Amino acid sequence: MSEYSVLLSDLSENITNEDLDQLKSACKEDIPEEQSNAITSSKEWFHYLEKNDKLSQDNLCYIEHIFEISRRPDLLTRVIEYRTTVLKISEDDEIDTKLTRIPSAKKYKGALLLLTFCIPGSLHCGIYLRNG
């Protein structure tokens, strides 16, 4: 099982049906209502996002954004840990970019400093993560 598959499995285990409804609601502009209604599990939700180029093993910006606006810093932190350990995003790459703070993840991890950016409609996204 790939590390990406392990990540999605781990995330799925931590998403309840109520959480899924909230996540789907956060995606309502990107998932038509009839298709959203057909999604009944987090695994189906991830599959839909992959099929529609919103999620891949090296592009996690969309779910980072959804977890942030859905107030799920626990899930966001798991994605960020994957990006920093598996994708090996370097600190230098992120310092040179325009970054936006995600305060809920910082609050969740205590001393964690987290900065992230995503450019809508592109594959350009990244993070800067260090202990504060």
List of residues 6+ apart from 16 with CB closer than 8 A = none
For all residues of the chain together, what is the average pLDDT? 77
Whichever domain contains 76, its CATH number is 1.10.533.10
Residues 84-109 have pLDDT tens digits of 888 776 444 543 433 443 444 444 44
What's the chain's Rg over C-alpha atoms? 14
How many domains does the chain fold into? 1
C-alpha to C-alpha distance for 124 and 117, rounded to whole angstroms? 8
CA distance 125 to 78: 17
Helices (H) then strands (E): counts for the chain? 8, 3
Q: What are phi and psi of 126, to 5 degrees?
A: -175, 180
Domain that holds residue 117: 3-131
Stretch 108-112: mean pLDDT, rounded? 43
